[in-house]
Amino acid sequence: MDKQGISRAAETLHKIRNRLGVLQTFLEIVEVPADNEKLLRLRQTCRENLEVIKNWLKDLKD
């Protein structure tokens, strides 16, 4: 990959991280009723997937 391609890839990774930050904030502040098991599971799944994606991005950066 040439320098321009690397620069574009780094810029894209930065944009993805910024978007994931917004999603993480949303997941942290959204109130889910304790009696709504489906929403609780969905929120947990979203959090787990967010962590997986963040780890992939970290691996790409390294």
Label residue 62 by pLDDT band (50, 70, 90): low
Write down the mean pLDDT value for the chain.
89
CB count within 10 Å of CB 32 equals 15
Phi, psi of 30 (to 5 degrees): -70, 130
CB 27, CB 43: distance < 8 Å? yes
Q: Work out the average pLDDT over 11-19.
A: 89
Task: Specify the pLDDT at position 57.
Answer: 87
Residues near 28 by beta carbon (within 8 Å), at least 6 away in sequence: none
Task: Specify the pLDDT at position 45.
Answer: 94
Does the predicted TM-score (pTM) go above 0.85? no
Q: What is the DSSP letter of 26?
A: H
